Chains A and B, each alone.
Chain A
Amino acid sequence: MTGPREIEIVGDLSRLPTSASGARHLVWWGNIGFMLIEGTGFALAAAAYLYLMTQAPAWPPRGDALPGLLWSGLFTAGLLLSALPNLWVLRCARNKDVAGVRRGVLAMAVIGLILLVPRGFEFAHLGVPWHRDAYGSVIWLLLVLHTTHVITDWADTVVIGTWLFTHEVGDDQFADVEDNSNYWTFVVVCWLPVYVLIYWAPRAV
């Protein structure tokens, strides 16, 4: 029942492929949308940090210790290094290398888990509890926000990894691995300004 309107068939879509990679893929755009949302969230949290910093007479307020550089440094170095295997996984996914993505995703799951260790110590060495003052509140906010992203992407990696090792891998799964890998890059990129704000802004002012 199409109604009375006549139609004229002017083309055939059946020869088109059933998947694509990169920006041609639909899900890539969904992923970008969510990164945009979360990126805006990071930017606004950073803006809140800077706003409170400009309003405060001293930053950090008198009596608050500066955040520790050791564990955060280890975490930052580890996170930056993880970009390399991550890019390797991305290449395997683009080349549709089944063995490569299986191994790579497993490696990324292990790396994510290891990174959570220095992250835990970072919290312990922030130097101020969140409930002492607005400075404490906002650095905890930034760190919690980023940690949520690390954990989310790590969980996603584990689920994808589980699936990859138990099932036959097809084009859609390569696209999934690609998206997950892009998301990790996003998590790495977001950390850098957050790291500067939490650890270096109080030392610079």
Chain B
Amino acid sequence: MIADLERVPQLDATWRDAPGLWGFLTTVDHKRIAARYVVTALLLMFLAGMLALDMRWQLSTAENTRMGPQLYNESFSLHGSTMLFLVSVPLMEAMALWLVPLMLGTRNMAFPRLGAFSFWLYLGGVLTLWLAHAADVTPDLGWFEYPPLSGPAYSPGHRADIWAQMITFTEVAALAASVNVAATILKMRPPGMTLARMPVFLWAMLIASIMTILSMPAIMLVTSMLIADRLVSTHFFSPAGGGDALLFQHLFWFFGHPEVYIIFIPATGFVSAIVETFSRRPLFGHNAIVLSIMAIGALAFGLWVHHMFAVGLPRLGNDFYTAASMAIALPAGMQIFCWIATIWSGRPRLDTPMLWVVGFLATFVIGGLSGIMTASAALDLQLTDTYFVVAHFHYVLVGGAMFPLFGAFCYWYPKATGRLLSERLGRIAFWLIVGGFNLGFAPMHLLGLLGMPRRVYTYPAGLGWETLNQVATAGSAIAVAGGLVFVGNALWSYWRGRVSGPDPWGGSTLEWASASPTPAWNLPYTPRVDSLTPMWRDGPLRVMEGLALDRREVLVTSVADAAPLYRQKSAPPSIAPLLAALATTAMFIGSIFTPWAIVAGALPIGAALTAWFWPTRPRAGAAEAKA
């Protein structure tokens, strides 16, 4: 049978947002919120790319005068902070917000208003950093601002405060999003999707969320301590007052190292999904991949010291961290084997999403191997803080996370828009970006080995660095041109692309069961799952009915076996998340200038939260009179 067409208008009426601006401000639709995240983050990626290109221009010749030290230092600080805090992590969260409910066949996230709150607060962080930049209060100490340089004595003014508070914004937003994603995956899986039948993508998002929950409090704590040192004269990091500069580094990297995997692990989810669909066979080694992700997630918390090999820690610790850091190559290598084995034993199709996976493997493995080199406590003394490390982490973050993300973008674009991207433009963009990236960043390995430190705004002639820097600059320019083709393709295809239908690739998981673009309520029925690849089941899609059509309702199931437990009310649109985010923004910004802002800001936040959670039920008197 086909779906009962009468339920569609009912579902539309129940799940529709208010029209116009009010609907825009109050929506709790996970797809609309995720789309906002994606558009904002891509715009920021463009701006950060322009900064990178400008810096490459400055470095293309020795003693260049395009930039002075202040502008250069601001540029790399803004580039790094934007890419790490405002682009990479939020983009991965956005993909989770958008795809997790679709892949679960549920109607919305576990906490719809929390999703909206995450975005508004994230936007607050974006505006804090970039409006401050427009007002020439740009942070200028890199994406990790080590004290004492970032302390009150050496960084007067508010540049360092802007950086620290931007982090508070984005981390609160990321933490809220992570709780949301984890609760959704654990409690809202469709009947039959036991933990053993959960696709790798969902495992990746679950583990990344748990890692976020366990690591991001560290950076919130450490930036708060930094602000306290600057604002109310505490002495956490000042040696003169009994504090310790290294405490900052320990806490920062306790977050900073897992952060890399919080970005990388969702990418392994994209790769697993794409490899499965385009190899046209179920993923080989599903369990091995899931266990590898868990192992990477666990190991990530024991590695932070490998960012601090040069600070002079006890040698025994260095030996331990060397072995632990290198050990991460084992689960990473197992994953790579499983993907290649899936391709090998499947019948691969090289459409653009799959092309990006190939680009990912060819590029990321270089980053992984250079990571093994920097993991050696001894060798790292020659590599850290040089261009070798710049090359290494760009290979990991761009090759390992952004390339899969671009593949994911090509893969799920038709689901979001109902249209396919142009394959021709997609291929041009692919070759320009992958080629330009490798041309731009491979020479940096050698620059590092020729002694060029990172974060220098200029360098003298005669050290053998000019030619390689010029090649690097040319490569970056090519990659940026490719990025423009990619964005042009997305824009052009949005209006002119071929209509895709619900399932253009023959995908294996439940998001392909919904219409493209997906309506506000996602799927008309609740799917029932009996394998890892429910869409590849022969015969009709098995579904369950019984969720309310006239009010927002979602199904809650048990954690291990996804057995149906009860029907949960799903929160309708509300302005409260925006108001709460505005109140929180006011408090965060105010606390850059005075600690009293925290006290004064608590009341409006409390009021907004009260409005948010205030349940809608009859007054006590009325009900009791009736009874």
Contact = CB atoms under 8 A, between A and B. Distances in A.
Do A and B truly interact?
yes
A7 B1 contact: yes
Contacts of B624: 168
Nearest to B180: A30
A160 to B, nearest CB: 9
A52 B242 contact: yes
A34 to B, nearest CB: 6
A3 B502 contact: yes
Interface in B518-541: 519, 523-526, 528, 539-541
A14 B545 contact: yes
Contact of A133 (B220, B221, B241, B547): B241
A153 to B, nearest CB: 12
Interface in A1-50: 1-20, 24-26, 29-30, 33-34, 36-38, 40-41, 44-45, 48
A79 B385 CA distance: 49
A34 B209 CA distance: 12
Interface residues of A, number: 63
Given A2-B524, A37-B213, A165 B546 contact: no
A1 B615 contact: no
Contacts of B235: 131-134, 136-137
A3 B244 contact: no
A100 B452 CA distance: 71
Given A6-B540, A34-B179, A40-B214, A52 B244 contact: yes
Contacts of A10: 528, 542-544
A184 interface: no
Interface stretch (B135-143, B159-167, B184-192): B184-192
Contacts of B236: 48, 52, 134, 137-138, 141
A130 interface: yes
Q: Please tell me the size bucket of the interface on B.
A: 35 or more
Nearest to B235: A134
A18 B566 contact: yes
A122 B187 CA distance: 42
A80 interface: no
Interface string A116-153: 00000000000000111111111011000000000000
Given A18-B566, A24-B558, A48-B247, A9 B545 contact: yes
B213 A13 contact: no
A44 B251 contact: yes
B541 A8 contact: yes
Given A48-B251, A135-B242, A3 B545 contact: no
Interface in B223-237: 225, 228-229, 232-236
A170 B298 CA distance: 41
The binding surface of chain B is classed by DSSP as mixed
Interface string B232-262: 1111101001111001001100100000000
Given A16-B565, A137-B234, A168-B620, A61 B242 contact: yes
A33 B184 CA distance: 12
A45 B528 contact: no
B568 A26 contact: yes
Contacts of A45: 221
B564 A13 contact: yes
Contacts of B228: 130, 137, 141
Contacts of B229: 137
B242 A12 contact: no
A196 interface: no
Given A2-B515, A40-B217, A137-B235, A168 B619 contact: yes
A131 B233 contact: yes
A103 to B, nearest CB: 14
B276 to A, nearest CB: 19
A36 B213 contact: yes
A138 B228 CA distance: 11
A33 B179 contact: yes
A34 B555 CA distance: 22
B542 A173 contact: no
A8 B540 contact: yes
12 contacts: A5-B540, A8-B543, A13-B526, A17-B567, A26-B187, A26-B568, A52-B247, A134-B238, A137-B243, A165-B620, A169-B620, A173-B615
Interface of A: 1-20, 24-26, 29-30, 33-34, 36-38, 40-41, 44-45, 48, 51-52, 55-56, 61, 130-138, 140-141, 155, 159, 163, 165-170, 172-173, 176
